[in-house]
Every structure is written in C-alpha cells, then in structure tokens.
Amino acid sequence: MKQKIGVISLGCAKNQVNSEQMLALIREAGYELRAELTDCDAVVVNTCGFVESAKSEAIAELLECIELKSQGTLKAVIAAGCLAERYKHELLTEMPELDAVVGTGSYGEIVSVIDKVLSGEQTELYGDINAPAEETSRILTSAHGSAYIKIAEGCDNRCAYCVIPSIRGKYRSRTLDSLAAEAETLANAGVKELIVVAQDITRYGLDLYGERKLPELLRRFSAIDGIEWIRLHYLYPDEVTDALIAEVRYNPKIVKYLDIPIQHINDGILKAMNRRGDGEFIRKLFTKLRAEIPGLVLRTSVIVGLPGEGNDEFEELCEFLREYKIERAGVFPYSPEEGTPAFDMPGAVHAELSEHRAALIEELQSRIIDGWNETRLGTTFSVLIEGYDEWGECCYGRSYADSPDVDGKVYISMPNDIENKKSGGLDVGTFVSVTATDILDGDLIGELTL
Ligand code: SF4
C-alpha cells in the first residue's frame, strides 16, 4: 500500500516554490500526497526561520506534528527549510522526536530522506547552499490561474539585520532558457499570472551572464501565449535601471505594480542597516517611477525599531509614507537575530516600542489605502477570479493592484440574471471586468461589467 505524505509550507513565496518542488518529487517517487495531516504517514514541514515570529510559528507547527506522532497518527516528522538550515543539529538536539532535519541545500534529496525515516532511521542532511538552484517540476499550490516563479536563489546583499544569505547562500540566477521553459509549462497548466520572485530580482543575470538580464527575461515571459499578467516582487532600490523602468512601462503584460522594499528612509538608519542608497535616492526613485509609469501601484516593506532608531528617525519614516502615499506597505518590528551585525549594535529599542511603532505605521497605511480606494470608486478594471464564498453568491479576486497573500481583494456582486453563478462562465483563474462601487475593510466591492 502506497505511503501517504504531507507537506506543510511556511514563510515566503520562495519557500512555497521549494515546497511545490518537493511535492512533485514525492509524487514522482510513487508516494501519495495528502493535505490532511491525520491522513499522512509522514509530514515534511518546510519551515521559515529568519525572524523570531517565523521561528515560533515553525516550532509550534513541528510540535503539533510531533504530538500527532506520539498519538500514533504520524510515523515520521521531517523539518526542512530555513529553520532547519539555520539551526541544523541543534534543532534535533532540541527536538529529538524529529525523524529528520533537512537543510535548504537538500530539497532535491527529500525522497531519500522520506525513504529512510519511513524505514525507522533518524537522519540529517545539509547540502551545499551555494549549489546551482534546483531545476525540478512543481505541483502548484497557489490559487488557480496564478503561480510564483523563482528566478534566482540566495542573496549577495548584506543587510545588517538579515540572516537570509547565511541560510540561502550566495545569489544564483537560473538560466533564461530554464525559466522560459518553466513559464511555458505553467502557462500550459492554465497559469495566467506569473509572479516573479527572488530575494532580489533586480540583480538577475549579473552572476550568470555578467549583466542584468531582468528586462530580457520579462520579454521572454511576455512572449508566452496564455500569460497575461507578470507581477514583480522584491526589487532592490538602487538596482532599478532605466531599462527595467521602460520594460515595465511599455510591456502590456507587466502589471503596473512594483514591490520595492526600502526598509527605512532615514540616512543614519539605512547606513546602519548596510542598505545601499540613502533617503534622497529613494525619494527621487519613487518620484521618477510615478512620473514614468502611469497608474503605478507601489508596495514596500519597512522595519521599525532597529537599534539607534529614535523618535526623529521614526517620525521621518512616517512623514515619508504620508507624503509619498505608498499604496501597499508591510511593516515589521525589528527582530534581533543572532549572527547578524545588527544583533550587537548599541542603542537597542525596547520590543514594546517597536511593536507600538509598527502599529502606528499600520494605522497610517490603512488611511492611505482607504484614501486610494476612494479614487478607484466608479472605475472599471480587470479582476482575476480566485474563488467564491461558500454560497456561490459572491466571488472574489484580485486586480492588478493586489498581490496574493499580502494585499486586498475585490469582491464581486453578481447580476441576478446569471442562473448558476458558479458556472456562469465566471471560472476561477479567468479575468472579468469589474466596476468598483464600494469599500469594505480596505477591500473593494464591485459589480461585474459585462
Ligand atoms: S536583500 Fe537584504 S533583507 Fe533581502 S534577503 Fe538579501 S540581505 Fe536579506
């Protein structure tokens, strides 16, 4: 009887791609895949481990699985991913009930690990985190019609608060051809929206071709039939070139949405973070992008509470967000991570104060989002349908301004004359035209515009 395996994917979209690759390898090896833990013989928890909150979530998930194992429901629990890579044998020492710990350099060996643990062996595997990125097939887990495509692995930047380079290795671009082939496969599987991710997509090609190749890669993606939206995440500010700006502006398939994490705006804090580009540089870049790309929606991420951040530095960040009205912004309280330069910096900010500053920015941002949503009322735009409510009465989806998992949604009320709404030609993974009529908790409500 075939053994049944589950994969739990935690953390970011890049980790999700690795989970999807492991799912494909596991099924190709003849195991059955299961979504319910209670149906599984073994589970792989693909962990995140770059900040305290992510570590706690991963440990809680592993403990839950270990509990199921102690009840005899599961035979084996495997810890994979960033937490496994970061702590290696220490994780096994802390959690001896685990059957395996698999680092980020060993996703490709997941099947041999499963074979071993299901035959009762405890094992650890920490492959080369600087080895070329995995080129394997995937089982998609995003909403139908949309998929992430990871164009490179690792990171060559050295932000002072970040452990990712030590977990994911140096920057390694995948080849143009392998990426175009993967995008073709995704399009043939019904994917209409490609979401381009890496730790830093703007650096794509430098290591492999000696020059930036992102614009060329985007042209290859947009030449593929079936791909209608290409969305860009994780751009590093000082690597946004004029060639890239022009490609985003004039390539009709690239949605006018750019995710550019700035982390802060104050010169002193940016320097302490070891970020390239100062506050003036970022202000000029955002002004230029707004001028050169009509209808642009900007997303960014900021960290508050880095050691040395006083009220003035924090206020400068708030003033910048008020003035530049970034439509989408994620805010993270600084998390002191051992092994990073920032960990030993003087001038620590109390964790409660960091949390408080993060809450102030969330409030500020929700007012900006509401203000921006107001400007969209009465406008008509395309929405990629993602699903229906349980009654099939209302469907929801995303506009070009909404990235999955991090931004809002558009809820679509359906004209009464559509008989069976679910099969009224409004399939998940298709585009419809919607006119915005109302706002609810930061999300838009709209009517189908036939
Ligand atoms: S760009 Fe900076 S924050 Fe992002 S993964 Fe690289 S080192 Fe970490």
Domains of the chain and CATH, by start: 4-125 (3.40.50.12160), 146-376 (3.80.30.20), 380-448 (2.40.50.140)
Q: What is the pLDDT of residue 243?
A: 98
DSSP code for 213: -
Ligand 1 binding pocket includes 199 (Cβ within 6 Å): yes
Ligand 1 binding pocket includes 155 (Cβ within 6 Å): yes
Ligand 1 binding pocket includes 157 (Cβ within 6 Å): yes
- Which residues in the chain show pLDDT less than 70? 414-425
Centre of ligand 1 to C-alpha 155, Å, is 6
Ligand 1 binding pocket includes 152 (Cβ within 6 Å): no
Please report where in the chains the tokens 């009887």 appear, as a residue. 1
Centre of ligand 1 to C-alpha 173, Å, is 15
Ligand 1 binding pocket includes 32 (Cβ within 6 Å): no
The neighbouring-strand residues paired with 394 are 413
Rg (CA), the chain: 22
Q: What is the pLDDT of residue 443?
A: 95
Q: What is the pLDDT of residue 388?
A: 87
Q: What is the pLDDT of residue 449?
A: 87
Residue nearest to atom 2 of ligand 1 (CA): 159
Please report where in the chains the tokens 């794509």 appear, as a residue. 204
Please report where in the chains the tokens 């298709």 appear, as a residue. 430
CB 434 within 8 A of CB 414: no
Ligand 1 binding pocket includes 159 (Cβ within 6 Å): yes
Centre of ligand 1 to C-alpha 236, Å, is 9
CB 88 within 8 A of CB 41: no
Residue nearest to atom 8 of ligand 1 (CA): 162
Q: What is the pLDDT of residue 416?
A: 57
**What are the pLDDT digits (tens) for 144-167?**
899 999 999 999 999 999 999 999
Closest C-alpha among 40, 39, 47, 51 to residue 19? 47
Closest atom of ligand 1 to CA, residue 236? 1
Name 192's Cβ contacts closer than 8 Å, sequence gap at least 6. Answer: 145, 146, 226, 227, 228, 229, 384, 429, 430, 431
**Residue 131 CB neighbours (<10 A):** 14
Q: What is the pLDDT of residue 417?
A: 55
Closest atom of ligand 1 to CA, residue 275? 2
Please report where in the chains the tokens 């000029």 appear, as a residue. 284
Centre of ligand 1 to C-alpha 362, Å, is 22
Q: What is the pLDDT of residue 427?
A: 87
Do strands 443-448 and 410-413 pair parallel, antiparallel, or not at all (unpaired)? parallel
Residue nearest to atom 4 of ligand 1 (CA): 199
Centre of ligand 1 to C-alpha 397, Å, is 30
Closest C-alpha among 236, 51, 13, 270 to residue 141? 13
| Ligand 1, pocket-test mutation among 172, 199, 264, most atoms within 8 A of CB | 199
| Ligand 1, pocket-test mutation among 85, 162, 171, 201, most atoms within 8 A of CB | 162
Centre of ligand 1 to C-alpha 243, Å, is 23
Dist. CA 10–CA 67, nearest whole Å: 19
Ligand 1 binding pocket includes 12 (Cβ within 6 Å): no
Q: What is the pLDDT of residue 212?
A: 98
**Residue 93 CB neighbours (<10 A):** 10
Q: Within its chain, how far is the Cα of 228 from the centroid?
A: 20
Residue nearest to atom 1 of ligand 1 (CA): 157
Total number of residues shown for the chain? 450
Closest atom of ligand 1 to CA, residue 263? 3
Listing DSSP states for 79-141 in one string gives EEEHHHHHHTHHHHHH-TT-SEEE-TT-GGGHHHHHHHHHTT--EEE---TTSPPP-------
Please report where in the chains the tokens 């949309």 appear, as a residue. 146
**What are the pLDDT digits (tens) for 192-230?**
999 999 999 999 999 999 999 999 999 999 999 999 999
Centre of ligand 1 to C-alpha 423, Å, is 44
- Report the SS3 class of residue 375: helix
